[in-house]
Structure 1
Amino acid sequence: MNRKVQSTIRKMKDADGNYLWQPPVSADRIATLLGFPVAEAEAMPDVAANSLSIAFGDFKRGYLVVDRAGLRVLRDPYSAKPYVLFYTTKRVGGGVQDFDAIKLLKFA
């Protein structure tokens, strides 16, 4: 979730009047939502009608990051004389591996 969604969630309480959001107890800890750790992702949408603003799940099991070994280096001695420029690229990808491990919360 992003920061605006976090500010909305921080105000929510359960049936007993306890906040669903718990701030970290020390500087080296992270905040929790219903006992689960919270990660901030600014690319997630804000709360709106039919928006999928919160992703919840086990991302280690549900998402696979593919990191190809090695770098490609291109040497360019011509563009910025008398200097030599180097361009490096690395191939990285990823995708959902287990759709049951990650769920999106839809707001009405």
Structure 2
Amino acid sequence: MTNTIRTAEAGNPLAVTLTQHLADMLWHTGTTSAETLTENRDRFESDPVLPDPDDAIFAASYMRWCRTAADAVLLLAYEQAAGHSATMLWDLDEDEHVVLSTRLPAR
């Protein structure tokens, strides 16, 4: 049996491998509707350290709601590692994090 338990030392980064299948488990609701963000902009707070959600690059993007901050952070990192522009928002109405990404769903 292969030993799958690895311990990370304090101060060292923890490598996490996500596949598209696993990344899709990190969110529960999504929309490609640009109006959701633009027409309800005061509903969403953004982090000034992260990319600006009002940037034109996000005109055609996908919003994915995540139940936990950890899910949102992992999904944000996955989207960026996959080469997509992405940022994170806080939905004041739903009290959830939202990952805004230029990766659109497969049709």
Q: Shorter-normalised TM-score: what interval? A: under 0.3
Please identify which structure carries the higher helix content.
2
TM-score (norm 2): 0.23
Please identify which structure carries the higher strand content.
1
TM-score (norm 1): 0.23
